[in-house]
Amino acid sequence: MHLRLRDVASAIVFVAVLGHAGTTRAQPLPAWTLCSVESMSAEQRVSGCTMVINSGAESQTRLAIAYNNRGYAYLERGENERALADFDAAIRLNQNEAAYFYNRANALLAKGDVTRALPDYDQAIKLNPKSAHAYAGRATAYSKRRDYDRAIADLNEAIRLDGKLPRAYSNRGIVYVRKREFTLAVADFDQAIRLDRGYSTPYLYRGVANYNRALYQEAVADFDNVLRLDPRYVEALYGRGMARLKLGDTGGNTDVAAAKSLQSDIATTMAEFGVK
């Protein structure tokens, strides 16, 4: 899934099952392996977790894990309603696991339901105050409400708890872009890139920040980096075209036209971020 010009939540939390092979009432190893190994495909995990859920042989705690992990797989497949139903089931079975509230919050946020997502992030943080991901997720919800100061406060806490989360730095940079604090934004994007050079979002937003600082050559280089990772990333294509035009390179018209052919309203989208 491409991350576009919008705030992004942290990753869903997958819950592993420890000691599943040694429990006499557990499903045979293949079912739990499919359900509880994150490297399995989403289809395999749905199949394995469904076998576990339908077995009638699991404790509430372990059944909750199966629902959570199947919800994770459904979310990967874009089946958001099924994912939400599974996270609901996991929470009914075990209300003491922060990951389930956090995952449901992310699924709600994917639907644009910030009102329902925020209490789940609150509960995830209450159950696990050391969860950097939960703070980062709640920051995304606050940002969608344009409550940027609370978003930054939560991202500060996420970074304090785990200074190696590239998405936390990138998301804080995005909030700074929205606040038009471009120098602070670029510093965060630089750090996100140092932590993960294959992560396109900080390159994109650094390009946006540099464009707003009239550093058009640097913006072109950033958009180039995005397009090397994803040649059809429409925001980067449009941004590069506009930056090239600012540099007097009429070839930028080709980029702009190509971007508009992919997304007719791209000029309006980018103008919100000062790229016009």
Q: Which of 232, 248, 252, 229 is nearest to 240 (CA)?
A: 252
d(CA 191, CA 193): 5
Supply the pLDDT for residue 71: 95
pLDDT tens for the chain, 276 residues long, are 233 344 444 455 556 544 333 343 444 458 988 998 888 999 999 999 999 999 998 999 999 999 999 999 999 999 999 999 999 999 999 999 999 999 999 999 989 999 999 999 999 999 999 999 999 999 999 999 999 999 999 999 999 999 999 999 999 999 999 999 999 999 999 999 999 999 999 999 999 999 999 999 999 999 999 999 999 899 999 999 999 999 999 999 999 999 999 999 999 999 999 999
Q: Which of 93, 83, 87, 31 is nearest to 61 (CA)?
A: 93
* Cα dist from 156 to 26, 101, 153, 161, 251, whole Å: 42, 21, 5, 9, 41
Name the one residue in this structure whose structure tokens are 């010009």. 5
What is 198-276's CATH number, 1.25.40.10, 3.50.50.60, 3.40.50.720, 1.20.210.10? 1.25.40.10
d(CA 149, CA 4): 22
Our CA dihedral for 189, 190, 196, 202, rounded to 10 degrees, sits at 30
Q: Which of 148, 229, 220, 158 is nearest to 185 (CA)?
A: 148
The CATH architecture annotation of domain 1-113 reads Alpha Horseshoe (1.25)
Angle in degrees, CA 4, 116, 66, rounded to 5: 85
Supply the pLDDT for residue 274: 96
* Cα dist from 136 to 152, 165, 189, whole Å: 9, 10, 15
Per domain, the residue ranges of the chain are: 1-113, 198-276
CA dihedral over 226, 227, 233, 237, signed as positive or negative: positive
Supply the pLDDT for residue 22: 35
Q: What are phi and psi of 39, to 5 degrees?
A: -75, -10
Name the one residue in this structure whose structure tokens are 């859920």. 53
Supply the pLDDT for residue 36: 87
